[in-house]
Amino acid sequence: MEKSLDPALIEQLKKLQQKYAVMGQDLSSYLDGLLHADYLTYWDYIHLDTLLSLQNPKTQFADEKVFIIYHQITELYFNLILWEIEQISAKEPADEKFFTIRMDRIIRYFQLLENSFAVMVDGMEKEQFLKFRMSLLPSSGFQSAQYRLIEICSTDIINLVHVDFRESMQEYSDIEQQIEHLYWRSGATELASGKKTLTLQQFEKKYLTLFTETGMKYRTCNLRKIYQQNFPSSKAVLDRLREFDQLANVLWPLAHMRSAGRYLHRDPEDIKATGGTNWQKYLPPRFQLIMFFPELWSEQEKQEWGKAAVIKALHT
């Protein structure tokens, strides 16, 4: 004798019927579809074949694959960081627990990025790097738009203005004017002439409009605005923001800079691998003095921005 249907299952079917009826749909057609549908596989779900088809070295050097994949991994983490920032910004009303849990995630992602930079620093043969890097000019990680978006969504644009103009521009609230003087717009310039490299020109052409629009959108809901307006004296929040500021603006930049030091430092010829840019003056955090939350640091901490981390790195 055929087994009768479990009452709980009938209940589920009724709920499904209601759900589809609301949209004017016939449940039975959808059940037919279910009958013929394949089971979901892991490889389809995460699009593994597509993912593994996105590494296309430009040269024959084996280590170029390490270089490509590590950049892709970094961009995926940047994407997760932006995803958390977006959720914090959209949360109405702002909620301290929600904020700190998401900040912990962002901190975790940045720690992973900082701690894994050895994949670049120690994970490629210098001889191979210096050769394949020449085939990739004028592209550069400098052109990472997600890195810039993380900055723009984390703080007010004034804190991303070049240090030489930051003080004098405090009074201007015009974002477009501040964007003119973003600190990175004087990076990736030619060491010899001070002119913008093609790397910088192409980056600005493609993304400047997006950066301006994002700056406008986030002027009222970037991380700094949200904590200042909602939990300006919560220790749990401030601790996390300080940690994030250190990771994003000192520790990751220093980990990254170690790779530039390892591959580009010694021989003046090596510098060609960036297209002869001003990177030695540009990359150190102590020159740029970028802080998303400057009010959370003492005058001394600001003056010594990046110094403690450099000393620690020298002794480990």
Instruction: Pick between residue 64 and residue 100 the one whose CB is nearest to ligand HEM.
Output: 64
Closest CA to 119 of 159, 73, 53, 88: 73
Minimum CB separation of residue 232 from ligand HEM in Å reads 28
Minimum CB separation of residue 26 from ligand HEM in Å reads 49
The per-type count for the chain, helices as H runs and strands as E runs, is 19, 0
Which residues contact ligand HEM (rule: CB under 6 A)?
A: 70-71, 74, 120, 140-142, 144, 147, 184, 187-188, 199, 253, 256, 259-260, 263-264, 274, 277, 279, 282-283
CA dihedral 106, 146, 282, 309 (to 10 degrees): 10
Instruction: Pick between residue 41 and residue 193 the one whose CB is nearest to ligand HEM.
Output: 193
Instruction: Pick between residue 15 and residue 307 the one whose CB is nearest to ligand HEM.
Output: 307
Instruction: Pick between residue 100 and residue 245 the one whose CB is nearest to ligand HEM.
Output: 245
Minimum CB separation of residue 120 from ligand HEM in Å reads 4
Q: Per the omega criterion (within 30 degrees of 0), is the bond before 138 cis?
A: yes
Minimum CB separation of residue 292 from ligand HEM in Å reads 13
| 8 Å CB contact between 123 and 144 | no
What CA–CA distance (Å, rounded) separates 168 from 159?
Answer: 12
Closest CA to 261 of 273, 250, 249: 273
Which letter does DSSP use for residue 251 in this model? Answer: I
Instruction: Pick between residue 158 and residue 260 the one whose CB is nearest to ligand HEM.
Output: 260
Instruction: Pick between residue 244 and residue 279 the one whose CB is nearest to ligand HEM.
Output: 279
Minimum CB separation of residue 168 from ligand HEM in Å reads 22
| 8 Å CB contact between 271 and 306 | no
Minimum CB separation of residue 274 from ligand HEM in Å reads 4
Q: Which residues contact 16 (CB under 8 A, 6 or more apart)?
A: 27
Rg, the chain, Cα only: 25
Residue closest to ligand HEM (Cβ): 141
